[in-house]
């Protein structure tokens, strides 16, 4: 096989509004929401369905209700039966992976036009029965139903919350919020600093909706002729956090409270907090208000070649210049974007200082602010200056908008290309995100 040298571009895209956990989008199945995003992306790009060679979908909470959700959504969206369909799972960078995978497939000559997308409906993450079918209580479904009352007492069976299990790293046995507190302690990121950053994320997100930025690529979800959700839900539920910032102080810290003081956190996870030991008077800092929400949503972008885009009459938004994925210790997963960015930039041949726009995933204010410190100290990348200048997440980020796990990478891409288009002097942009398990992904584009 000979790989071809081709110019890979983003030629349109769309996403659903992001619903908050257990609210407006909670009743919708993930494949149905993904169909919404795919159909909206194709319609906005004016791309005929027959021209699509494949669908690459990121989905973290994969379930047997839609095995290979890329294939299920492709068929339900009316795409060609011959279309290649692949579902990828790389935790929170899954749809960055789907975009990169689409580019790889094109470069390998497997096709010319791909829908790279992602979805998550965290509201429908199941409670699971975990155990072997060799157990007498789990031999078949009829037995499970008949012995339902015995399951919780069985030593062979566990009833598991898949959401909490999925947000806990099985190698280091620390949940995602815990990794944020680890970073806050290592890099000395205080509560007030995190709350200030979170408030600004909400302010920018709300302003982005008010000034029409999000209307460029967010399509309302409707069913039966009625609109289910028109705008991102969480920032509009939490407008009071911008108007009354003192409310941030009312949120309890997750790892410094009467039932679990910070001293206990250090006892459990201090091995990950390099260079520090617990001292009386130290404070925890991570709260629900300076963390991203659990969410539902879907996003899709069109990945193709410049030549094919011209032939199909597509509006090219940006050229993909390069990407990089880098792993680090799962307990420090939140700073992985600082490690992935240099790889992507080097492959793209672009300097960090040349970036006009950056879209950075915000799982926690603590990890974002830690990236600001690590990025500058280790690589000379001044993320904080980009943020202060309004070049980083100018329309808010995941703390305000929410984080539908598998869709966030494609959401970042849509924010990035439309922010570049809005910026008359904008040329280069980069998106970056961390992922559970200690993965970071970054991707660089140039406006076309």
Q: Are 410 and 98 in contact (CB under 8 A)?
A: yes
Which of 117, 183, 292, 434 is flagged as catalytic? 434
What is the 8-class DSSP label of residue 65? Answer: T
Q: Are 114 and 303 in contact (CB under 8 A)?
A: yes
Which of 20, 92, 292, 418 is flagged as catalytic? 92
Q: 403 catalytic, yes or no?
A: yes
Provide the 3-class DSSP secondary structure of residue 247. Answer: helix
Structure tokens at 294: 């659990």
What is the 8-class DSSP label of residue 423? Answer: -
Alpha carbons 263 and 280: distance in angstroms, whole number: 8
Query: For the purposes of burial, counting CB atoms within 10 Å of the CB of 313, is it exposed (0-12), middle (13-18) or buried (19 or more)?
Result: exposed
Name the strand (E) or helix (H) holding 440: strand 439-447
Alpha carbons 238 and 383: distance in angstroms, whole number: 26
Structural Rg of the chain based on CA atoms: 22
Alpha carbons 412 and 430: distance in angstroms, whole number: 9
Q: 92 catalytic, yes or no?
A: yes
Count, in order, helices (H) and strands (E) of the chain: 16, 16
Alpha carbons 350 and 78: distance in angstroms, whole number: 39
Q: 381 catalytic, yes or no?
A: no
Other CB atoms within 10 Å distance of the CB of residue 185? 28
Alpha carbons 395 and 203: distance in angstroms, whole number: 8
- φ and ψ at residue 434, rounded to 5 degrees: -100, 170
Which of 20, 217, 403, 418 is flagged as catalytic? 403
In sequence order, the 6+-apart residues with CB closer than 8 A to the CB of 98 are 56, 57, 58, 88, 116, 117, 118, 409, 410
Alpha carbons 271 and 163: distance in angstroms, whole number: 26
Provide the 3-class DSSP secondary structure of residue 175. Answer: strand
Alpha carbons 256 and 277: distance in angstroms, whole number: 15
Active site residues: 92, 403, 434
């Amino acid at each position: 096989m000979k790989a071809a040298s081709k110019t890979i571009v983003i030629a349109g895209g769309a996403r659903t509004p992001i619903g908050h956990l257990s609210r407006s989008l909670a009743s919708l199945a993930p494949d149905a929401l993904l169909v919404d995003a795919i159909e909206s992306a194709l319609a906005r790009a004016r791309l005929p369905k027959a021209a699509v060679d494949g669908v690459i979908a990121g989905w973290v909470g994969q379930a047997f209700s839609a095995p290979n959700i890329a294939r299920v959504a492709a068929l339900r969206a009316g795409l060609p039966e011959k279309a290649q369909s692949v579902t990828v799972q790389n935790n929170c960078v899954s749809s960055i992976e789907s975009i990169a995978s689409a580019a790889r497939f094109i470069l390998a000559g497997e096709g010319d036009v791909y829908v790279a997308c992602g979805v998550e409906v965290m509201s429908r993450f199941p409670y699971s029965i975990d155990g072997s079918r060799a157990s007498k209580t789990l031999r078949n479904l009829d037995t499970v139903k008949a012995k339902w009352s015995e399951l919780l007492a069985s030593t062979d069976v566990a009833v598991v919350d898949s959401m909490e299990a999925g947000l806990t790293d099985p190698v280091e046995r620390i949940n995602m919020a815990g990794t944020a507190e680890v970073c806050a302690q290592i890099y000395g990121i205080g509560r007030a600093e995190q709350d200030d950053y979170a408030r600004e994320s909400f302010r920018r997100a709300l302003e982005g909706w008010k000034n029409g930025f999000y209307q460029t690529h967010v399509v309302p979800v409707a069913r039966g002729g009625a609109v289910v959700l028109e705008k991102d839900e969480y920032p509009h539920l939490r407008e009071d956090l911008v108007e009354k910032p003192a409310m941030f102080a009312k949120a309890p810290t997750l790892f410094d409270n009467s039932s679990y003081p910070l001293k206990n956190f250090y006892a459990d996870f201090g091995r990950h907090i390099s260079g520090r030991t617990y001292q009386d008077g130290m404070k925890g800092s991570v709260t629900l208000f300076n963390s991203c929400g659990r969410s539902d949503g879907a996003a899709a972008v069109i990945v193709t070649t410049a030549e094919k885009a011209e032939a199909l009459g597509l509006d090219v938004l940006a050229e993909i210049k390069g990407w990089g994925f880098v792993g680090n210790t799962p307990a420090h997963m939140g700073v992985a974007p600082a490690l992935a960015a240099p790889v992507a930039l080097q492959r793209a041949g672009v300097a960090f200082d040349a970036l006009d726009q950056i879209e950075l995933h915000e799982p926690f204010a603590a990890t974002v602010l830690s990236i600001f410190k690590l990025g500058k100290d280790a690589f000379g990348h001044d993320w904080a200056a980009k943020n202060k200048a309004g070049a980083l997440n100018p329309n808010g980020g995941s703390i305000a908008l929410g984080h539908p796990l598998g869709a966030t990478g494609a959401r970042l891409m849509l924010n990035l290309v439309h922010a570049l288009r809005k910026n008359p002097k904008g040329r280069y942009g980069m998106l970056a995100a961390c992922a559970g398990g200690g993965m970071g992904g970054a991707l660089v584009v140039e406006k076309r």
